[in-house]
Amino acid sequence: MANEGIVYLVGAGPGDPGLLTLRGKECLELADVVVYDQLANREFLAWAEKATEKIYVGKHAGQHTMNQEDINALLVRKAREGKVVVRLKGGDPYVFGRGGEEAMELYQAGMRFEVVCGVTSGIAAPAYAGIPVTHRDCNTVMSFITGHEDPLKPESTIDWESLARGGGTLAFYMGVGNLSGIVENLVRYGRKPETPVALIRHGTLPTQEVVEGTLATIVERVRAVGLKPPAITLVGDVVGLRASLRWFDQRPLFGKTVVVTRSRTQSSDVARQLQDLGAQVLLFPTINIEPPQDDQPLRQAVAALSSFDWVLFTSVNTVDSVFAALDALGGDARRFGASRVAAIGSATLERLRVKGLRPDLVPSRFTSEALLAALRDAGQITGRKFFMPRADIAPPFLPDALRAAGAEVTEATAYRTVPAAPDEDVLNVLRNGGADVVTFTSSSTAANYAAIVRQALGDLPGNVLYASIGPETSSGASREGLQIGLEATESTIPGLVAALVRHFEGNKT
């Protein structure tokens, strides 16, 4: 075998990024080239390096971006170039995924390859629908069957008689278009018409749909709701357990599409919390966080940290920026000396603790007004020296109010908020009314969202709920003509998520 290049045939699982194996993630991180399918969640591509070549070769409903022979040739060619190639396939490469054909082509070409198994949708989709594919009270046999055989075969090779009379659970892949034929064959060869059936579309994803019935009714029910592929068809008594065991679609935000406007580097925490509650999350970063164009004022203030009575941190970004400047100066938290530290927000508090600082003051409400009141109540304003690292567009309320009360305030730009390039896919969702909620965690995210969307769509969509992390953000959003319909009681990411849960649970019918 040749020593140059290798192809990893990686099963991406059924769609939920959490079901990709650790080995699969490792391969993506190593990849020079990723060749990916229609059914592979594109979130997986974020684990590859930005410079990695990404090639889409998806196939669906008779539309082929690239035929199988050309995909095989592509894998061989890239491997011969000495590349680390990941062939990312939905489900498992060897379960109705044509991975065996690709592996054989690589073997015959003398190329190295490795198979990385994936969670197959015939198991995962039922599990997320609340259906265990095996249960000792229901079945002792489990069968996986293609619902779409090779059209070039002269006749079916499926043993319908054995499947019908075997009494086990049947999972048909890619069978929506041939559902009536599947039902007809099973009943003809002995399956009872009252046998439970479920079709699961987009299994494990927030867009999951489940249609239930029996062999006697399922074709009409699927036709009535207009269910489209891809879907798994599950036949057997285990389907009846869904009434008790369904969990995925019972989560409070299931079926809701939430747009997150935070910077991409800061969106993972809120996105994960929303996804864990069932929401489909669309990342639409409206800002990028960048260093100040002139960092000398920040460096000078950081070099003199111990000369201030108070250092005020108003966000996680200010903490990161100050400590980056400290590191560049060869210092650490000891440079604060006797200076006291105040923080707005639980996330800012936690980041300071990670850096080795425990704030002396954190107001109960996470606003500039609350911090000002707390300092005033403590008699810590008049005659005191303050350092405030800030965003370039931060409102002047707090430093102005401190100066008016007799304090000396040194400000320095710690970071800049720069408008991000718009995501066309999310703009299309907004254009078509597909978003339920748009979240804002700062005035700048709201302002940039309004500018981007107005430029792209002509106006702001009126059929979406705008949700704010707190009063300062709500005020900034209102100035941009955004009508805030929901505001977090506690100005934190968990507080914003909790507000969304309360809103949608309160509006359930």
Indicate the fold that domain 295-416 takes in CATH: Rossmann fold (3.40.50)
Task: Provide the 10 A C-beta neighbour count for residue 435.
Answer: 21
pLDDT in tens, 324-334: 999 999 999 99
> Of 36-40, 164-168, 175-179, 340-344, which range is least confident?
36-40
Task: Provide the 10 A C-beta neighbour count for residue 299.
Answer: 16
* The one catalytic residue among 16, 37, 92, 436: 37
Q: Which residue is listed with tokens 């998806």?
A: 58
Give the C-alpha separation, 455 to 304, whole Å.
44
Q: Which residues contact 197 (CB under 8 A, 6 or more apart)?
A: 183, 212, 213, 214, 215, 218, 233, 234, 235, 239
CATH number, domain 257-288+419-506, options 2.40.110.10, 3.40.50.10090, 3.40.50.620, 3.40.50.1860: 3.40.50.10090
> For 12-39, what is the mean pLDDT?
93
Model pLDDT, residue 2: 45
Supply the pTM of this predicted model.
0.79
CA separation, residue 30 to residues 36, 70, 85, 265, 273 (Å):
15, 24, 9, 21, 28
Q: Do domains 6-119 and 123-245 have the same CATH topology?
A: no
* The one catalytic residue among 25, 32, 54, 59: 59
> For 458-465, what is the mean pLDDT?
91
Give the C-alpha separation, 229 to 211, whole Å.
12
pLDDT in tens, 427-453: 999 999 999 999 999 888 999 999 999
Task: Provide the 10 A C-beta neighbour count for residue 35.
Answer: 25
* The one catalytic residue among 16, 83, 92, 174: 174
Q: Which residue is listed with tokens 């650490």?
A: 332
DSSP secondary structure letters along 227-252: --SSEEEEESGGGGGHHHH--GGGST
pLDDT in tens, 138-195: 988 999 999 876 555 556 789 999 999 988 999 999 889 999 999 999 999 999 999 9
At residue 62 the predicted structure's pLDDT band, cuts being 50, 70 and 90, is low
> For 227-243, what is the mean pLDDT?
95
> For 301-327, what is the mean pLDDT?
95
Percent helix, percent strand, percent coil in the chain, to nearest 5: 40, 20, 40
Active site residue 332: no
> For 103-131, what is the mean pLDDT?
97
At residue 312 the predicted structure's pLDDT band, cuts being 50, 70 and 90, is very high
Predicted confidence (pLDDT) at residue 83 exceeds the cutoff of 80? yes
Complete edge-to-edge strand list for the sheet that includes strand 408-419: 287-290, 408-419, 385-391, 310-313, 340-343
Model pLDDT, residue 1: 42
Predicted confidence (pLDDT) at residue 92 exceeds the cutoff of 80? yes
pLDDT in tens, 363-410: 988 889 999 999 999 999 999 999 999 998 888 999 999 999 999 999
Predicted confidence (pLDDT) at residue 300 exceeds the cutoff of 70? yes
Tokens of 138: 């229901």
Active site residue 37: yes
Tokens of 127: 């599990």
If one looks up domain 6-119 in CATH, what number appears? 3.40.1010.10
Predicted confidence (pLDDT) at residue 38 exceeds the cutoff of 90? no
Closest CA to 90 of 194, 13, 191, 187: 13
> For 120-144, what is the mean pLDDT?
95
Domain boundaries, the chain: 6-119, 123-245, 257-288+419-506, 295-416
Q: What is the mean pLDDT of the chain?
A: 92
pLDDT in tens, 259-282: 999 887 777 888 999 999 999 999
Active site residue 192: no
Model pLDDT, residue 364: 87
Model pLDDT, residue 267: 78
At residue 61 the predicted structure's pLDDT band, cuts being 50, 70 and 90, is low
> For 62-70, what is the mean pLDDT?
79
Helix axes 346-354, 316-328, angle to 10 degrees: 20
Greatest mean pLDDT range, 47-51, 115-119, 158-162, 204-208: 115-119
Superfamily (CATH) of domain 123-245: Tetrapyrrole methylase, C-terminal domain (3.30.950.10)
Tokens of 463: 């059929």
Helix axes 443-457, 424-431, angle to 10 degrees: 70
Predicted confidence (pLDDT) at residue 356 exceeds the cutoff of 60? yes
Predicted confidence (pLDDT) at residue 420 exceeds the cutoff of 90? no
Percent of the chain scoring above 90 in pLDDT: 79
